[in-house]
Amino acid sequence: MERLFKGFLKFRTEVFGKKKELFTRLSETHAPRTRFITCSDARVDIHAPYANRSRRALYS
């Protein structure tokens, strides 16, 4: 958890300030219709949630 917190602070101090205009523009214009909450564990099968659906549903 400490590593995550340090990474957040590093982003705020080293990246966000340099690209503030970009992040402001994105916050005003970016409007995703879908949000995916996933796991970065390589052992997790990314297709598992769609096992009972056709492959077409993945790309529509």
Q: What is the pLDDT of residues 6-59, one digit of tens each?
A: 999 999 999 999 999 999 998 898 888 887 777 777 776 767 766 665 555 555
Nearest to 34 by CA among 16, 59, 5: 59
What's residue 11's pLDDT? 92
What ranges do the domains of the chain cover? Answer: 2-58
User: Would you state the pLDDT for residue 50?
Assistant: 67
- Structure-model confidence comparison of residues 42 and 5, the more confident one: 5
CA dist 52 and 58 (Å) reads 11
DSSP H helical segments within the chain, as ranges? 2-10, 20-29, 55-58
Structural contact between residues 11 and 19, judged by C-beta atoms closer than 8 angstroms: no
- Give the per-residue pLDDT at 37: 78
